[in-house]
């Protein structure tokens, strides 16, 4: 067991290192666009944008890096980041020996890369990280037992909003009374502020439009000091919002298919989903509404 002093020092050093990568409050999309313009103007290669643009990313990296470094400190008697560095390859081998998931290994590796500001090839002495297989994803694929614990009115309203517009927890938490709007085609949309500083006007599925208007009207009329639409208690961390977001994506795929978004150009699944295919035109429309830019993310995480 490492001493409290060593643990405190490692925690402090991790937070100091990650503070140098902190870009919260900035738009990653804008930074990418600016970097591409600089590369084009100077006729140079595009330099990949790095940094932590979301509080969740910063918190996750700090927690995962501390877990790894405390293990190293306990095993090898290290007292600070510098002393832990040489033992990172051994920690990587231990993670594999314990059969940790590819997601966990990659997250901890990238967290430590952010702390030491070096690529994983140099820090861990490996060429490639474990591959994440779609078949191994289980989280958020079905309603969990936690769904039965929350039946208050504000819980039901939060779930309905997530189902109607595919919002993440952070997007729902950031809603204000002014975030309901109608586009030029008469479609109801909800303005969402989400991770990485991204903002989007998410399409509300027509079947839910009246109920969404009712929720906004109800909470906007309630007195209170908070500028946010929903109370924080309406969004417990174990509420199955990813499942509802997936249901939204599947309905959205049918919605755009019925409105002629298909191009006839197909996206063919591989591995355990070989034989399944989706139209790329519809996938692109769904992807944009979900706040993604890649069709494969929609297929892997939502259209299951």
Q: Does a structural domain hold residue 47? A: yes
pLDDT at 240: 86
Whole-angstrom CA distances from 251 to 61, 105, 168, 172 are 34, 33, 17, 19
Q: Are residues 14 and 101 in the same domain?
A: yes
Residues found in the chain? 304
Three-class secondary structure of residue 202 per DSSP: strand
User: Which parts of the chain have pLDDT scores under 70?
Assistant: 133-148, 196
Tokens in use for 222?
A: 């309630």
* Residue 279, domain member (yes or no): yes
User: What is the maximum span of the chain, computed from C-alpha positions, in angstroms?
Assistant: 65
Q: How far apart are CA 215 and CA 222, in angstroms?
A: 11
Same domain (yes/no): 38, 110? yes
Last residue of some domain: 210, 235, 260?
A: 235
Q: Does 101 lie in the same domain as 19?
A: yes
User: Do 164 and 111 have their domain in common?
Assistant: no
Q: Which of 235, 257, 283 is the last residue of a domain?
A: 235
Residue 145 counted as domain residue? no
SS3 state at 182: strand
How many structural domains are present in the chain? 3
Residue 151, CA atoms < 13 Å, CB-side half-sphere: 3
Whether residue 140 is contained in a domain is answered as: no
* pLDDT value of residue 10: 95
The DSSP line for 247-297 is HHHHHHHHHHHHTT---SPEEEP-GGGTT-EEEHHHHHHHHHHHT-S-HHH
Both 39 and 90 in a single domain? yes
Q: Do residues 35 and 124 both lie within one domain?
A: yes
Range of the domain at 117: 4-132
pLDDT of 103 reads 87
Q: Please indicate, yes or no, whether residues 125 and 200 belong to a single structural domain of this protein.
A: no
Q: Please check whether residues 185 and 286 belong to one and the same domain.
A: no
């Amino acid at each position: 067991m490492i001493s409290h002093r060593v643990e405190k020092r490692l925690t402090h050093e991790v937070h100091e290192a990650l503070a140098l990568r902190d870009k919260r409050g900035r738009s990653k999309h804008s930074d990418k666009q600016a970097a591409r313009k600089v590369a084009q103007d100077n006729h140079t290669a595009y330099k990949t944008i790095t940094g932590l643009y979301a509080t969740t990313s910063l918190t996750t990296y700090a927690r995962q890096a501390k877990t790894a470094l405390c293990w190293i400190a306990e095993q090898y008697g290290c007292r600070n980041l510098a002393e832990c560095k040489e033992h990172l390859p051994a920690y990587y081998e231990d993670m594999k020996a314990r059969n940790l998931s590819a997601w966990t290994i990659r997250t901890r590796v990238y967290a430590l890369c952010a702390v030491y500001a070096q690529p994983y090839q140099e820090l861990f002495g490996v060429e490639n990280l474990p591959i994440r297989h779609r078949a191994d994803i289980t989280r958020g694929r079905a309603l969990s037992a936690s769904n039965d614990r929350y039946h208050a009115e504000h819980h039901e309203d939060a779930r309905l909003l997530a189902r109607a517009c595919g919002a993440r927890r952070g997007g729902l938490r950031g809603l204000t009374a002014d975030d309901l709007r109608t586009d030029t085609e008469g479609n109801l949309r909800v303005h969402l502020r989400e991770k990485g500083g991204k903002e989007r006007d998410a399409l509300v599925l027509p079947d839910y439009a009246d109920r969404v208007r009712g929720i906004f009207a109800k909470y906007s009329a309630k007195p209170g000091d908070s500028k946010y639409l929903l109370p924080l208690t309406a969004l417990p961390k174990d509420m199955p919002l990813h499942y509802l977001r997936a249901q939204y994506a599947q309905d959205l795929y049918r919605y755009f298919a019925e409105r002629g978004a298909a191009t006839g150009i197909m996206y063919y699944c591989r591995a355990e989903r070989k034989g399944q295919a989706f139209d790329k035109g519809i996938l692109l429309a769904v992807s944009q509404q979900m706040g993604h830019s890649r069709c494969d993310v929609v297929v892997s995480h939502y259209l299951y």
